[in-house]
Structure 1
Amino acid sequence: MSTPDWLTIREGSAPLIIGLPHTGTDIPAPIEARMTSPWLARKDADWWVDRLYDFAVDLDATLVRTAISRSVIDVNRDPSGASLYPGMTTTGLCPTETFDGEPLYRPGEAPDEAEIAERRHTFFDPYHAALTAQIERLRAAGPVVLYDAHSIRSRVPRLFEGELPQFNIGDNMGATCAPALTQAVEAACAITGQTHVLNGRFKGGWTTRHYGRPEAGIHAIQMELADRGYMVDPEGDVSEANWPSPYDLRLAAPMRTRLRGVLSACIDFARHAPGRSLRS
């Protein structure tokens, strides 16, 4: 089966897969025509994260990215529609509002169950088929790490209080990877001198929870960055005039160095984990 043009797969030989589920901004025209605003429809993208991590090819990591906007379908949500954070504000499989609570669709234009099922078939299923295939390919040689890469504005009052730590690590309370991997990632974040937290507001999305099976050699971990580490967060209200801010090379350069340390720690963990083939 051919790869759809909105799906990018870069195969590497290192035991590391980087998922990029929220960097896309593509919205099919018939869907965008029903939305309240093109800007709102793209407001909550993980802005510039694919560019931030593009150095990972030098580490021979595998990258899987969808160009489809999360406002069309969020490939990091439970396809059943179940909330990842019961009792807390979050967005669904096919969101109908932004993180700030603004409606994404004009009255009466939100997708119904049949349309949601079609979007899942068209976009969600191929993305996860690609992740599964890459996990199986690399798992044949031994343990593998699936690193789900995200970012978010440092302050989103509707989702969390105050300012988010710079590095937000999620392993769903230790369920999705070996403790040694979490410890290695925490250590790589700690030496940067930036704030970090484990299983704070973000404990790992559906991707991390679904694929993480450390007993089978599949170790999944999520990294949610506060985006002030590589771009300028707006002061005060977020508007079309100030968001998204440009990718900031001055900020991004040191962040890329820090993230290189994080990804290298993931690869080093996998290469020394029990079950690694001596030929790999």
Structure 2
Amino acid sequence: MTQTIPGVLSIRGTDIQTLPLVFDSPHSGTAYPEDFNHAADPLTLRHAEDTHVADLCEGATAAGAVLLEAHFPRSYVDANRAPDDMDPGQIDGIYPGALNPTVKSSLGIGLCWTRVPPAGGPMYTRRLNADEVAARVARYHHPYQSRLRTLLDESHARWGAVWHINFHSMQEFASAMSTQHKGTPRPDFVLGDRDGTACEPGLTDTVQAFLQARGYSVAVNDPYKGMELIRANGDPARGRHSMQIEVNRKLYMDEATREPNEGYQALKECFTALALHLSDHVTHQIERTAAQ
């Protein structure tokens, strides 16, 4: 069964969930709202998408997990940012609430993106209206973050713990909008656990070993440690384990056209196998806790 808020999000697997494992894909949305009113080339703008990531993860439900995906594009409003991560200099009018811009906002990729990847050209020929930003948060950003939190809370209440995998994709090489030097090559995968503060170490170790055994190069917390969704939801001392996974786009698609490449199906099968492997890890952790 799929639960849907049209244009906002979909949730799959709640009716067949068998363990406290939640996958989410906040950046794979391709439903561009009519009121976006950006000044970017549409195909170039799609470089911001984690295109196809939700589809790559659909096998998670067969492993007993739940899958949440965003339908809206991250460049419109980014579900993996705090609601105050916006440069006040980019807003026209009085925003309802304090703003606390991070380095992401300075790069043009905060709450509402102001620069277009990969070169970093301007997203708009205007400043965003304060009411416009607030409406994006209310209609898209808040429902996504709230629904993810509810899924995690429900699983935690049922099983006493929950494991959350936050999926993303990354460009093959660092762009001008990255914190890395432009052109820096990325590994196949980057796992982020915010330097061990967002999940139990066994989760990171399990995923890293699984991927390396299949011949993939894997980095941990470099250059991505994990952003708002695992920061807000990861609390291992309370049995809440959140980890971010970034997959290199070269493994599954043509970055210029956004079309799947010859590696797509193999990676999708790998993600399904990973979900099954994680289900074993989660089951073992629950059983071990119960035996204590």
For normalisation by structure 1, the TM-score amounts to: 0.86
Q: How many residues align?
A: 264
Gaps of 5+ in 1: 234-242
- Give the Å deviation of 1:232: 3.2
Higher mean C-alpha deviation, range 223-232 or range 152-161: 152-161
1:247 equivalent to 2:260? Answer yes
Structure 1 ranges of 4+ moved more than 2 A: 34-43, 82-90, 256-270, 272-278
CA distance in 2, matches of 1:25, 1:142: 35
Candidates 166, 173, 185, aligned match of 1:155: 173
Contact 2:24 2:69 in 1 (8 A): yes
- Give the Å deviation of 1:86: 7.1
CA distance in 2, matches of 1:84, 1:90: 10
CA distance in 1, matches of 2:104, 2:171: 22
Give the equivalent residue in structure 1 for 2:5: 4
Three-state SS of the structure 2 residue aligned to 1:187 is: helix
Shift in CA distance, 208/92, structure 1 to aligned 2, threshold 3 Å: same
Contact 2:152 2:162 in 1 (8 A): yes
Alignment of 1:1-280 (within 5 A): 4-6=5-7, 7-10=9-12, 11=14, 12-32=17-37, 34-81=38-85, 82=100, 85=103, 89=107, 91-99=109-117, 100-105=119-124, 107-108=125-126, 110-140=127-157, 141-158=159-176, 159=178, 160-161=180-181, 162-233=184-255, 243-248=256-261, 250-273=262-285
Task: Provide Cα deviations, 1:148-205, integer angstroms capped at 9, x if missing partner.
Answer: 1100220133213421000100000000001111111111111111111000011101
Shift in CA distance, 227/80, structure 1 to aligned 2, threshold 3 Å: same
Shift in CA distance, 178/83, structure 1 to aligned 2, threshold 3 Å: farther
**How much is the aligned-residue C-alpha RMSD, in angstroms?**
2.3
- Give the Å deviation of 1:264: 2.9
Shift in CA distance, 126/31, structure 1 to aligned 2, threshold 3 Å: same
Identical columns (%): 27
**Amino acid in the other structure paired with 2:10:** T
CA distance in 1, matches of 2:192, 2:102: 13
- Give the Å deviation of 1:38: 2.3
Gaps of 5+ in 2: 86-99
